[in-house]
């Protein structure tokens, strides 16, 4: 995401991250005016935004210099801009494969009244209260006609079904026990040539032509909201003729990553305390 900071404004490219509170770039901790451009050509300037700075960073591409923190904590830019946006923002992420094909095609983010997600096809699910990060309740995942009930942890009944929705995490992660059931059910439902990922990173990969395999329908059943994942949400091209499942096991936590969120208009309403999903071609949003 491109933002401008200071007077006169200095451009910075940052990673849009619903899993972080603090917005930061490479500098010293400060308070400055943030400037957002829009597709209409207009600019919105918001003064006195507190942001942090990183000096020793890894895992970032050469094109980005930090994060814009969109989580729900006190220092989040969403809370710092609450008077202007009233707790509402939405984004529409284009599928990752399009980034290498067309550099002019971009994802979009909206704030305030422009961020309301409504109309036919919208489903909404409540945010788990009392959390600065955005946790949803995932009740089950269906693969074809088989339903897999989801429990994120046995430690506490309060965490049952708890999953973090995070725009700053690429893949989707599930605790080992649930992931094992999901992988077994999915593999049994796919009639395609299984292949090994030479990097050793992905667990389930298949040979494919035109990045397509005959996979069953996968639906994430959140409370009051069924979100059907396309094949592009569930599988990604890792090499020519090789696609891999974008879901992996994690020791404890469940995370709904950004590949699973592509081609959905996803709206956050921190006043109504809910997240909404609308299937959409994000290249045309």
Annotated active-site positions, please? 17, 166
Cβ contacts of residue 243 below 8 Å, gap of 6+?
205, 206, 208, 211, 213, 235, 236, 237
Instruction: Answer for the pair 108, 91: CB distance below 8 angstroms, yes or no.
Output: yes
Q: Which burial class, exposed, middle or buried, applies to 138 when counting CB atoms under 10 A from its CB (0-12, 13-18, 19+)?
A: buried
Q: Is 83 helix (H, G, I), strand (E, B) or coil?
A: helix
Instruction: Answer for the pair 252, 201: CB distance below 8 angstroms, yes or no.
Output: no
Q: Which burial class, exposed, middle or buried, applies to 36 when counting CB atoms under 10 A from its CB (0-12, 13-18, 19+)?
A: middle
- The distance from CA 151 to its chain's CA centroid, rounded to whole angstroms, is 21
- The distance from CA 112 to its chain's CA centroid, rounded to whole angstroms, is 19
| 57 prior amide bond cis, ω within 30 | no
Residue 9 phi, psi dihedral angles, 5° rounding: -70, 140
Question: Rounded CA gap, 19 and 255, in Å?
Answer: 10
What does the block give as tokens for 99? 């980034």
Instruction: Answer for the pair 37, 89: CB distance below 8 angstroms, yes or no.
Output: no
What does the block give as tokens for 1? 């995401």
Secondary structure letter of residue 80 according to DSSP: H
């Amino acid at each position: 995401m491109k933002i401008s900071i200071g007077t006169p404004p200095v451009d910075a490219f940052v990673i849009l991250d619903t899993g972080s509170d603090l917005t930061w770039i490479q500098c010293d901790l400060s308070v400055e005016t943030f400037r957002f451009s829009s597709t209409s050509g207009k600019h919105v300037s918001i003064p006195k935004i507190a942001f942090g700075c990183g000096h020793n960073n890894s895992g970032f591409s050469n094109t980005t210099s930090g994060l814009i923190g969109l989580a729900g904590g006190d220092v989040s830019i969403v809370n710092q801009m609450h008077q202007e946006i009233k707790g509402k923002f939405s984004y529409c992420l284009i599928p990752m494969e399009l980034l290498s094909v067309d550099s002019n095609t971009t994802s979009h983010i909206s704030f305030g009244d422009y961020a309301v997600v409504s109309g036919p096809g919208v489903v909404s699910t409540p945010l788990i209260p009392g959390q600065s990060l955005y946790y949803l309740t995932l009740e089950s995942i269906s693969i074809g006609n088989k339903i897999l009930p989801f429990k994120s942890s046995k430690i506490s009944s309060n965490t049952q079904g708890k999953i973090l929705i995070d725009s700053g995490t690429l893949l989707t992660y599930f605790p080992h026990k649930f992931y094992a059931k999901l992988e077994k059910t999915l593999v049994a439902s796919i009639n395609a040539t299984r292949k090994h990922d030479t990097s050793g990173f992905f667990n389930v990969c298949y040979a494919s032509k035109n990045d397509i395999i005959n996979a069953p329908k996968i639906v994430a059943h959140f409370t009051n909201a069924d979100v059907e994942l396309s094949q592009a949400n569930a599988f990604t091209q890792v090499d020519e003729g090789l696609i891999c499942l974008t879901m992996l096991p994690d020791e404890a936590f469940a995370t709904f990553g950004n590949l699973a969120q592509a081609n959905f208009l996803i709206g956050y309403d921190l006043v109504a305390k809910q997240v909404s999903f609308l299937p959409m071609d994000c290249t045309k949003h």
